[in-house]
Amino acid sequence: MKIIFFGSSHFAVPSLETLLKIPYKVCCVVTQPDKKKGRHLRLSATDVKSIAQRAGLHIFQPKDVNAPESVRYIAKFNPDLLVVVAYGQILSQGILALPKIFALNIHASLLPKYRGAAPISWAIIRGEKTTGITVIQLTRKMDAGPMLLQKAIAIGGDDDSLTLEDKLRSLGADLLLEALKEIKEKTYKLTAQDEQKVILAPKLKKNDGCIGWDKTAFEILNLIRGSLPWPGAFTYYKDRLIKISKAGIGPFVPRKTGAQGGGLVLNAGKTLEIMADGSSLLIKELQPESKKKMSAAEFISGYKVKAGDIFGKK
């Protein structure tokens, strides 16, 4: 079975590595063009390209994968199957029509919940207890194709977007292997998604990380965990933007107050306790704008924080 692999990010790496260990021919790897990164704006390859180079695979990096010349180039490989994992471009019908079987996609949610670019982040932000991987046939409508396989895992209380991604990318590689076996043996079944249960997970915008102190401490903690590494959960202290990277639930259970539209500092010692809606949040690690991350105690000492201060924009 001849496979063309479409992938770019860290999430896609285990799936490509799995394909290299089994007796299917990866005839081409399609990945995003190199991009300038870092202080010195040096060109950097995608994570998938680095793996493909080490394996000696043919690599194609079109700026527009759906351009007629790109479609013609990919068609020359005469693939049986396309495997698409965190590629970064939406594929046209012209691309999807190329394989003899179909295009397969590994999606990091329990579809039809969390269709879109940021399923891992939104599952945590919205307080889900479980998530998982769904293997689907790729169609023109985003993440809406019929399902081949699905497997759920628990979202741990300490999980953030980064740790959960690591769990899901490994699970995705396992399910890809299972799906390929079913396709080869022609035992797979396609199940339509329930359109009545669709939840969208669009790409996070910067303002999605802004903390609303009228939310409960649990909701704010989910935002902190789910918005890592970008945009990061943030608030303001004395008009300075502050990102919060680690927190917990505090012991204090105040009545709903609003605290002048912000979070009222209840205690400022080794940790920073801030009032939320009906609860309180213990800040453990934070990062003032243009500064390094620091512990709550370091922040309290350096910025002279005291009980009664307000976090949030006035």
The pLDDT tens digits of the residues spanning 183-240 come to 999 999 999 999 999 999 999 999 999 999 999 999 999 999 999 999 999 999 999 9
Shared domain for 246 and 184, answered yes or no, is: no
Shared domain for 221 and 73, answered yes or no, is: no
- Structure tokens that stand for 272 in this block: 């920073």
The structural domain count of the chain equals 2
For residue 152, the cross-strand partners are: 132
Shared domain for 44 and 148, answered yes or no, is: yes
Of 170, 200, 230, the domain-final residue = 200
Shared domain for 221 and 145, answered yes or no, is: no
Instruction: Provide the pLDDT for residue 271.
Output: 84
Instruction: Provide the pLDDT for residue 112.
Output: 98
The CATH number linked to 42 is 3.40.50.170
How many CA within 13 A on the CB side of residue 162?
A: 8
Shared domain for 150 and 192, answered yes or no, is: yes
CA-based nearest residue to 219, from 280, 138, 169: 280
Of 200, 219, 241, the domain-final residue = 200
Sorted by sequence, the CB contacts under 8 Å of residue 57 that are 6+ apart come out as 26, 28, 29
Predicted confidence (pLDDT) per residue in 155-170, tens digit: 999 999 999 999 999 9
What's the rounded Cα separation, in Å, for the pair 139 and 265? 50
- Per-residue pLDDT, averaged over 79-103, amounts to 98
DSSP state of 230: T
Shared domain for 217 and 177, answered yes or no, is: no
Q: Omega before 112 cis (within 30°)?
A: yes
Shared domain for 122 and 238, answered yes or no, is: no
Shared domain for 196 and 217, answered yes or no, is: no
Percentage of the chain modeled with pLDDT above 90: 89
What's the rounded Cα separation, in Å, for the pair 78 and 140? 20
The CATH number linked to 245 is 3.10.25.10
The band of 40, judged by pLDDT with boundaries at 50, 70 and 90, is confident
Shared domain for 232 and 125, answered yes or no, is: no
What's the rounded Cα separation, in Å, for the pair 33 and 63? 6
Residue span of the structural domain in which 156 resides: 2-200
The band of 38, judged by pLDDT with boundaries at 50, 70 and 90, is confident
What's the rounded Cα separation, in Å, for the pair 31 and 52? 10
Of 200, 229, 247, the domain-final residue = 200
Predicted confidence (pLDDT) per residue in 94-114, tens digit: 999 999 999 999 999 999 999
Instruction: Provide the pLDDT for residue 270.
Output: 82
